[in-house]
Amino acid sequence: MLPLNATIVRINEDSPSVRTFFFDPQFETMKPGQFVMVWVRGVDEVPMGLSSKNSITVQKVGEATSKLFELKEGDSFGLRGPFGNGFSLPSKGEKTMVIAGGVGAAPLAPYAEAVRNAGSEVHTVLGARSAGDLIFEERFAEAGEVYVSTDDGSKGKKGFVTDVLSSLNLSVYDRIAVCGPEIMMASVFRLLEDRKVLEKSEFSLHRYFKCGIGVCGACCIDRSGLRVCKDGPVFSGVQLLDSELGKYMRDASGRRVKI
């Protein structure tokens, strides 16, 4: 598949460092948790989780995302995808917990909406550094109950998502979907393991991608050898037992870098 030409139709400022780019075309059949390869022509191509059928939500972190932030409505970029496996959807009547940290809320907002549309109750624990960094709080609130945590205490509980989770009864949920910074996901992973609910969980991983289509092997994780781009990016908690999660990841050359 060659890159599609995506024209920016609207840009939303979600926080000082996060923007949502709405584009034309729409991916009608996308599953929440799937990603697209976003090609900022002449610069680089990077993976981004879809935050809706026709949007990506981007944190400005490097060269490609900085260039993306210079684009205006009417400008375009290349898009390949959607790729990978999304979060699994519940059956009617099940209860789902969504745990989102920072820009990790991007693939989880459409998931929470899909869960509600499937007739399943959804509760969200949403964390960020401070009140201004909370992403998609309204979308999660629209879908169900939201518990907020901020590192600085400017909104909700002061601390991390795990501080909110420690006071919740997790055994009532049939599914737990997690996405956020790796340190946060590793803490959540340990907490879910302690509470013996890991088998209900799914995590969306972020790794350096080269091909993005499951051939090159740059994004394979230890010790399973699973490809994040094709076998993931969403993995069950059980698949991540005894894995590199929270310990290290590989850089573009394949060297292990401690987290």
Partner 1 sequence: MYTLTGLKLKNPTILAAGVLGTTGASLCRVAREGGAGAVVTKSIGPTPKTGHSNPSMVKLDCGFLNAMGLPNPSYPSFLQELEIAKKDSGVPVIASIFGGSPAEFKEVAEGLLPGKPDAFELNVSCPHAEGYGAAVGSNPCLVEAITAAVKDIVSVPVWVKLTPNVSDITCIGNAAESGGADAVVAINTLKGMAIDIESGYPILGNRSGGLSGKAVKPVAVKCVYDLYTALEIPVIGVGGVSSWQDAVEMMMAGAAAVQVGSAVYDRLDIFSEISTGIEAFLQRKGYSDVKELIGLSHEMV
Write the binding mask 68 to 107 for partner 1: x where contact by CB under 8 A, - elsewhere.
--------x-x-x---------------------------
Choice from 61, 172, 183, 216 touching partner 1 (CB under 8 A): 216
255 touches partner 1 by CB under 8 A = yes
- The minimum distance between CB 173 and partner 1, in angstroms, equals 31
What's the gap between Cα 206 and its chain centre? Answer: 8
Tell me how far apart the alpha carbons of residues 63 and 169 are, in angstroms, rounded to a whole number.
42
Candidate segments 107-115, 136-144, 185-193, 223-231, binder of partner 1 by CB under 8 A:
223-231
Name the nearest CA neighbour of 88 among 69, 111, 72.
111
CB-nearer residue toward partner 1: 156 or 233: 233
220 touches partner 1 by CB under 8 A = yes
252 touches partner 1 by CB under 8 A = yes
207 touches partner 1 by CB under 8 A = no
Q: Work out whether the CA dihedral 197, 129, 117, 25 comes out positive or negative.
A: negative
The answer to whether the beta carbons of residues 133 and 100 sit under 8 Å apart is no
CB-nearer residue toward partner 1: 127 or 212: 212
Tell me how far apart the alpha carbons of residues 219 and 76 are, in angstroms, rounded to a whole number.
27
Name the nearest CA neighbour of 113 among 203, 177, 62.
177
- The minimum distance between CB 108 and partner 1, in angstroms, equals 25
Name the nearest CA neighbour of 246 among 194, 186, 187.
186
155 touches partner 1 by CB under 8 A = no
Name the nearest CA neighbour of 109 among 52, 182, 56, 54.
52
Choice from 131, 214, 241, 248 touching partner 1 (CB under 8 A): 214
Name the nearest CA neighbour of 228 among 250, 247, 199.
250
181 touches partner 1 by CB under 8 A = no
- The minimum distance between CB 162 and partner 1, in angstroms, equals 28
11 touches partner 1 by CB under 8 A = no
How many residues form the binding site for partner 1 (CB under 8 A)? Answer: 40
42 touches partner 1 by CB under 8 A = yes
Tell me how far apart the alpha carbons of residues 152 and 156 are, in angstroms, rounded to a whole number.
10
247 touches partner 1 by CB under 8 A = no
CB atoms within 10 A of CB 143: 26
CB-nearer residue toward partner 1: 142 or 251: 251
Q: Work out whether the CA dihedral 12, 13, 14, 19 comes out positive or negative.
A: positive
Listed in order, strand segments (DSSP E) in 104-159 are: 121-128, 145-150, 157-158
Q: Which residues are at the interface with partner 1 (CB under 8 A)? A: 1-3, 5, 37, 39, 41-46, 76, 78, 80, 209-218, 220-227, 250-256
